[in-house]
């Protein structure tokens, strides 16, 4: 028994002093300016596709959960495909007509998740401000953050266009 305890203690000490190398991969490499620019470009492209009514292309770069929303928002939501879901959602539940007016911030919110904050614009180029909602006082927030996760296939969107409460 004493030998077993000493053996366990020796293994524990060896583990504590082992030369641990950081894991190589997306969480420790490639988080420079070029990667932020690629993520920014991917988010902008996704929003432009939704704005232009190219719903199949937009949803091909979306990795978020849309099926529970489809079931909750639409009577036949469980029969919709991803492009049909986005097309219907853009008819009154999401602000899909928006473009990016300016980039406010690009930051990492997790090892592989980019959070891109934008000021958005209406089709005429004016700053987008969502209508007042739900008894809120004061001006609405005009900055919106979209998340994109970096994968082997490039950046994939985690958020849908701006929701209309």
Instruction: Please report the pLDDT score of residue 139 as a whole number.
Output: 57
Q: Give the domain ranges of the chain.
A: 32-130+139-163
CA 133, distance to chain mean position in Å, is 24
Interstrand relation of 99-108 and 113-121 (parallel, antiparallel or unpaired): antiparallel
Q: How far is CA 163 from CA 73, 125, 131, 133, in A?
A: 12, 20, 11, 12
With a threshold of 0.85, does the pTM exceed it? Answer: no
CATH number of the domain at 32-130+139-163, please? 3.10.450.50
SS3 98: coil
> What tokens were used for 155?
């950046």
Instruction: Please report the pLDDT score of residue 122 as a whole number.
Output: 93
Instruction: Please report the pLDDT score of residue 12 as a whole number.
Output: 34
Instruction: Please report the pLDDT score of residue 75 as a whole number.
Output: 86
Sign of the C-alpha dihedral computed for residues 6, 11, 15 and 19 taken in this order? positive
Are the C-beta atoms of residues 18 and 133 closer than 8 Å to each other?
no
Instruction: Please report the pLDDT score of residue 157 as a whole number.
Output: 96
Per-position pLDDT tens, the chain of length 165: 333 333 333 333 333 333 323 333 344 345 677 789 999 999 999 999 999 999 999 999 999 999 999 999 998 777 899 999 999 999 989 999 999 999 999 999 988 999 999 999 999 999 998 877 776 655 567 899 999 999 998 999 999 999 887
SS3 83: helix
Instruction: Please report the pLDDT score of residue 32 as a whole number.
Output: 76
């Amino acid at each position: 028994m004493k030998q077993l305890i000493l053996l366990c203690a020796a293994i524990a000490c060896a583990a504590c002093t082992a030369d641990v190398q950081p894991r190589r991969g997306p969480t420790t490499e490639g988080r420079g300016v070029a990667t932020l620019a690629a993520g920014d470009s991917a988010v902008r492209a996704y929003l432009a596709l939704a704005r232009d009514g190219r719903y199949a292309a937009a949803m091909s770069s979306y990795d978020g959960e849309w099926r529970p929303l489809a079931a909750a928002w639409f009577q036949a939501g469980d029969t919709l495909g991803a492009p049909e879901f986005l097309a219907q959602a853009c008819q009154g539940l999401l602000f899909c007509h928006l473009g990016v007016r300016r980039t406010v911030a690009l930051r990492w919110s997790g090892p592989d998740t980019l959070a891109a904050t934008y000021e958005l614009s209406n089709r005429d180029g004016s700053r987008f401000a969502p209508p007042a909602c739900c008894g809120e006082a004061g001006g609405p927030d005009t900055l919106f953050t979209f998340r994109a996760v970096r994968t082997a296939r490039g950046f994939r969107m985690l958020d849908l266009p701006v929701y209309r409460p």
